[in-house]
Structure 1
Amino acid sequence: MEKKFFFKDDKSPKNIQIKKDIITHFITSGNDTISELSRELDLSVPTVTKFITELMAQGLIDEFGKIHTPGGRHPSVYGLNPSSAYFVGVDMSRHHLNIALMDFTGNIVDHQIGISYTYENTPESFDMLCDYIQNFIDKTGDLKKKIFNINLNISGRVNPESGYSYSSFYFSESPISETLSKKLNHNVGIDNDTRAMAYGEYMKGIVEGEQNVIFVNISWGLGIGIIIEGKPYYGKSGFSGEFGHFPIFDNEIICHCGKKGCLETEASGLAIHRTILERIAKGESSILTEHVKDLSKLTLTDIIKATNMEDPLCIEIVEEVGNKLGKYIAGLINIFNPELVVIGGQVAETDGFIMLPIRNSIKKYSLNLVNKDTRILTSKLKNKAGIIGACMIARSRLFND
């Protein structure tokens, strides 16, 4: 596989770094004038002009007209050329696959949401995943040549730097990122799904200038993504955010991590799914028995739909989970004192049914002086948070090599 590099013809590390800084400025701040770039990067106007000219010759930067200023010449505005590079984001959940193509400026130009895919930790499931990604890439036509990076979101313990996933598809000594790169003939990286969702929400979602954010992903499992001073927090090995594996409950429920009593065993989509099946089996009524003929095939999507249709049993169980979650999110607020907590993931699609008990529980258990500065909001990107975050992470790795 031939790796793609932006500045392969540049020999000077200093020049390469300046070009990286210019592109990073456009990514984070949008289009700008040479004089503003000069001020922000602490470089002379002639130096910035030289590098802007070179980047335009490479097709990475475009001129986007002039801005009107009082008196004198009207300066030109420059920015990223949207069609100069593309990135693919893949978000894998237990029952679905979402894939998107993003241009250089961060706009999603194509996507497939809700592809039917049942995750299993087997080579066959891995091969099927690769086939879906390859089919999506093939359908991009000529744009395929401009795809620089792909990022796959995986739940659980993922080390993005080494490329290993220790929770899924851990079949050989080779990193999964390396295996994917060879199979797809593109640069492929991996990241934790919740961290990707947090980054997507930070870059394109509900975040409005906040620099310290916690994203709570309530899906089949439970995790958090942490943004500190505007940057995703990874921890030593990329394993930060394992909120669902707090040893909380004195129960005999074995978590998928192999331990008992994890928060996830009683406060997650998995817990909601298990509890509903147990209570229906005991004779409690639910519209789920009418809508899902074979309850062994009941999905979290079915439960979310029933909750939003105001099924009493589903609402009761979702609210119980919300109350439990809010108590421990209050603990996170006490520890991190974030500006914003975003509640996302599939269970968050029940809106007020999960949010009201979470808010009430946070108010009850967090310190007043701490929580008064923290906003609690629902994800704006919803089921697209993962793929948008995956695309954004793929773009952020442009200069890794």
Structure 2
Amino acid sequence: MSMLVKLKSIVMLSILSSSLLATELQLSGFIGQGYVAADDSQFIVGDNDHAFDITEAAFAVSWKPIEHVRVASALSYRQWGTLYDSAVKFDYLFAEYTYQFGEQNFGARAGLFKSEIGFYSSTRDVPFTRPSIMLPQSIYSDYFRDAQLHVEGGDVFGMHPLFDGMLDWRLTVGKVDITDDFDRNILGRTDFGEFDSEHYYAADVEFQNNNIRLGLTYYDAEVSYSPSAIGGYSPGDIQLVNWVFSGQFRYKNFELTGEYLTGDKMINGLMFPVEFGGFKEPSLGYYLDLRTYLPYEVELFIRFDKHIDNTDDKDGQAYEMRFGSPAYFAYSDDWTFGARWFASHDWLLAVEYHQVEGASWVTPLVSPTPSVQAKEWSMFAMQVSYRFQW
């Protein structure tokens, strides 16, 4: 039995058997149901031009048995069209120790938890805490979700007053939690082999006050690949080494948010035998999001999101010559127009429209299908969500 499995068993047993003795016990959760329609693409919707199987839900428990110590867990259900098969699993499960020294806070946690990449990684699965139904794919790619999101390991963190705001920092080490969804999104099928995590290292720092929010994240994530007999691929690995710069400015009823990713994607094996050597691509992604907060709890936003697989080949011409797929699979430009309405504290209705040129984040990654994916395509999404807390 692995240490993580032992930790899961201990934490869940403690929560279930000792909740009546808890000094602080919080229960919360949400459920969201969505709809996606796409033109000239099978992204999310598959063979149909629409999908109703856009469902996510979670039930979370946070317990402080004694001062300084907290254990937290959440069970989640997620079905996101063709990107993720429906499953109930642990979203996070960790033990945490914190110590306050004056206005400063220090702590450590161990177990299964969400990464802290950029502004929204740790809360990207909660409709109420993310800015849109689909996050900007240049920073929060759905096809690489498993290589970035759930971390099995530990981290240390701190919070300190600085000027007129607060400074947060976090150092993380561990491995990411790989599922069959990752195999399918990269290779197109789950029986072509499987990926496994090698390591995940990250450092994150963030400053925030009433008007601005600034962040910087570095992360290094590597996954290895073991082929099956039928896949035709070679053993190998994929490594992402990225920096993410984040900024947000708020003025009255307006908010401007931008994030910028730069780094390298290194691939060895997979499409080519290992003896051919790997290749390294300098990647680039960024978005700008402008939104306004109107009366009656209504938000309107417009966002431009850009992703380039290889900055040495911005128009994808070298990609087309090397892999044989159209050049537009090497980049993506996404204009998004959306609205969110908090009908009450517990209810949220969100709608958005995407007009996209390019397909660099359309699955499957290593075997794109031009026959079902146009250069210019569009997508409409809507979702209604409900949350609760006891």
TM-score (norm 2): 0.24
- Considering Cα pairs closer than 8 Å and 6+ residues apart, tell me whether 1 or 2 has the greater RCO: 1
CA radius of gyration, larger in:
1
Which of the pair is proportionally richer in strand? 2
TM-score (norm 1): 0.24
Which of the pair is proportionally richer in helix? 1
